Chain A
Amino acid sequence: MPVGVRFVTGGTSGLWVIVPAYNEESAIGGTLAGLRPYMPNVLVVDDGSSDRTGRIARRRGAIVLRHVANLGQGAALQTGIDAALAWGARMVCTFDADGQHDVGAIARMVDMQRQSGADVVLASRFLSGQARIPPVRRFVLGLALKFTRMQTRLSVTDTHNGLRLLTREAAKRIRIRQNGMAHASELLSEIAAKRLSYVEVPSTVTYTRYSLRKGQSVFDSVKILFDIVYAAWSR
């Protein structure tokens, strides 16, 4: 095992890594190449991709479920959680397809869960003092954070991090109904509403040119803000 992917308190048995993916053919292969050597159970939910995302994921050793139409990341996560629970998962980890997360963080989160007994472990870019977050992104995340904190009264430090770990119990109780990006704040609302316990662990995010182009345009940031307000209003 390379440096960084080391479990202190146990292995990966019963852990399912759920990777929602929509048209990620240029990144999914690399992401899975990083994951698969350490994670035996990787489930990619191909959210109606029109490219070769599903085929590549299968070839890289992931189990692939496919949405016949594009529903959004929230819907893909819920489908993945349903499947993982049916397959007897004891923990589920959500992991972005674009390769921005670090596999070692999963091990740290599993350890954190086992030590703390928390229902949910959230990764945070801001606990790690990561300085290299693009300014526009930082500004929007800051606004999203203030709004979500106000709404859910959770004292989280990062509301839109795709890396999370849920225990089986938490995954069963949380239900994602926001199909789009608003699921990120909805998930926090669910944690608050169902009184689940949570801890945060620091994690860095690698902003590649690809991930910046893919998910983080100024327009998308504005959309996230809109989605948060919308989710709060339509609950």
Chain B
Amino acid sequence: MIVSVLLAALLLIGLYVASHRVGGVQAIVALAVLACGIVLVVFPGLTSAIASTLNVGRGTDLLLYFAVICGLFLAAHFYFRFKRQDATMTELVRAIALRGVMPDGPPPSLASRDEFGGSAAS
């Protein structure tokens, strides 16, 4: 039962990725990961066998380590991407704010903004 659920989930992820027209390397990596997933679901003893040859105890431990490493990589990847995008957005927003502000140009005319001038009361 659980096996069919897991396989269905993996296939759905595969379809989801495929529907986004991913390019060469990404498609190959995605396919490889999904294929590994299917193999490991169909042959549950395999992870334990690999784990024991690598001296990491149970198969679940091996998967956990793998998941943690992937998670950390993703966190770092998205953190730096976020920082880059943040810098880009700052530049964009600032450029829009500074439209019409020319180097050595005059400040906006005082006349248009002085209706409440020096005698502004609260």
**Interfacial residues, chain A to chain B (CB-CB below 8 A):** 29-30, 32-33, 36-37, 40-41, 45, 48, 58-63, 65-69, 71, 75, 78-79, 82-83, 86-88, 177, 179
Q: List 12 interface pairs A-B (beta carbons < 8 Å), by A numbering.
A: A37-B118, A37-B120, A48-B93, A59-B116, A61-B114, A61-B117, A65-B98, A71-B89, A82-B101, A86-B98, A86-B101, A179-B90
With A60-B120, A61-B120, A66-B97 already in contact, 18 other A-B pairs whose C-beta atoms are closer than 8 Å: A29-B122, A33-B121, A36-B116, A36-B120, A40-B110, A59-B115, A67-B93, A67-B96, A67-B97, A68-B93, A68-B96, A71-B90, A75-B93, A79-B97, A79-B98, A82-B98, A82-B101, A88-B104
Residues of chain B with a CB closer than 8 A to A83's CB:
98, 101
Which residues of A have CB within 8 Å of B121? 33
**Which of B101, B120, B122 lies in contact with A87, CB distance below 8 A?**
B101
**Is B103 a contact partner of A86 (Cβ separation < 8 A)?**
yes
A63:B113 contact, CB within 8 angstroms: yes
Q: Is the beta-carbon distance between A32 and B120 smaller than 8 angstroms?
A: yes
Please tell me if B102 contacts chain A, counting CB pairs below 8 Å: yes
Distance between Cα atoms of A121 and B32 in the complex (Å): 61
- Chain B residues within 8 Å of chain A by Cβ, number: 28
Grouping DSSP codes into helix (H, G, I), strand (E, B) and loop, the B interface class, with mixed when no group exceeds half, is: loop
Q: Shortest distance in angstroms between B100's beta carbon and chain A's nearest beta carbon?
A: 10
B34-80 at interface with A (beta carbon < 8 Å): none
**B residues apposed to A, CB below 8 Å:** 86-87, 89-90, 93-94, 96-98, 101-108, 110, 113-122
Tell me the nearest residue of chain A to B94, going by C-beta. A79
Least Cβ–Cβ distance between B91 and chain A, in angstroms: 10
Q: B105 → chain A, closest Cβ, in Å? A: 6
Residues of chain A with a CB closer than 8 A to B94's CB: 67, 71, 75, 78-79, 82
| Selected contact of B120 from candidates A33, A45, A66, A67, CB within 8 Å | A33
Residues of chain A lying within 8 A (CB to CB) of residue B114: 61
Contacts of A29 in B (CB 8 A): 122
B118 touches A63 (CB 8 A): no
**Are A87 and B107 in contact, with the CB atoms below 8 A?**
yes
> Of A32, A36, A78, which is in contact with the most chain B CB atoms at under 10 Å from its CB?
A36
10 tightest A-B contacts by CB?
Answer: A87-B107, A65-B97, A33-B122, A33-B120, A37-B118, A67-B93, A79-B94, A61-B116, A83-B101, A86-B101
Q: Which residues of A contact B102 (CB under 8 A)?
A: 86
Give, as a whole number of angstroms, the nearest-CB distance from B85 to chain A. Answer: 12
Closest to B97 in A: A65
Closest to A16 in B: B107
What residue in chain B is nearest A40 (Cβ atoms)? B110
Min Cβ gap A199→B in Å is 28
- B122: chain A residues at CB < 8 Å are 29-30, 33
Docked pose: A83 CA to B105 CA in angstroms: 10
- In Å, the complex CA distance between A36 and B116 comes to 9
In the bound assembly, the distance between CA atoms of A87 and B102 in angstroms comes to 8
* Contact status A179-B86, CB under 8 Å: yes
Expressed in whole angstroms, the minimum distance between the Cβ of A50 and any Cβ of chain B is 15
